[in-house]
Amino acid sequence: MASEQLEKIFKNNEEWIAQQLDKDPSYFKTLGEGQEPNILYIGCSDSRVTAEEVMGLHPGEVFVHRNIANMVISTDLSAQSVITFAVKHLKVKEIIVCGHFCCGGVKAAMQAQDLGLLNPWLRNIRDVYRLHKEELDAIADEDARYNRLVELNVQEQCVNVIKTAVVQKASAERGLRVHGWVFDIKSGKLIDLKIDFDAILAKIMEIYTLKD
């Protein structure tokens, strides 16, 4: 037997269907005809950060991938498959990597604690800390350091997106763009980090640029 919470979900679903049909009788027919989102959103699995709601978008307007701490890892077939499908087949125009303050994954990576199966995943965030250790260690306030690691993690995941062959090709051929954002849970605001990718990539893209 379903719990009260699960039963309420199905009730909510019926109410949502009625609301959508009241506004647009062809709403679900249109959804069933396919999707043409312009945006790929890569975010955290945190239950407090829902992509469409935060951005004020509707079903069909954004293609979404979420995992712990919004990571883009070269060996993660799930993330790489999503990027490939979104770029090559959906032809998205923008890719957003969105982290958030108060991120449990980033917080866990800052602590010297054995978390079992999570260790290999969190090691990728610790690698971000290693790359920016001098800057982070200079921040005395722990919360400020934590927030800065959230921002730097977004930056490095954006770089990982840009390293992929399918993104490089789409950027050159049709101007696909990558953006790094952070969601401030305490204020509800989306923050564009305005990352200067040209400056960051200038010294490394000769290593990662792929040619036919």
Query: pLDDT by residue (tens digit) across 61-104?
Result: 999 999 999 999 999 999 999 999 999 999 999 999 999 999 99
141 is annotated as an active-site residue: no
How is residue 158 annotated by DSSP?
A: H
157: burial class by Cβ within 10 Å (0-12, 13-18, 19+)? Answer: buried
**Does residue 136 surpass a pLDDT of 70?**
yes
98 is annotated as an active-site residue: no
179 is annotated as an active-site residue: no
What pLDDT shows up at residue 198? 87
Please tell me which residue in 65, 98, 100, 179 is annotated as part of the active site.
Answer: 100
**Does residue 211 surpass a pLDDT of 80?**
no
58 is annotated as an active-site residue: no
Mean pLDDT for the chain overall? 94
Percent of the chain topping pLDDT 90: 87
> Dihedral angle at the C-alpha atoms of 50, 53, 57, 63, nearest 10 degrees?
10
Query: Which segments of 14-170 are extended strands (E)?
Result: 39-44, 62-67, 94-100
The phi and psi torsions of 177 (rounded to 5 degrees) equal -120, 150
Please identify which residue in the block is written with the tokens 């979420």: 66
48 is annotated as an active-site residue: yes
The phi and psi torsions of 99 (rounded to 5 degrees) equal -95, -175
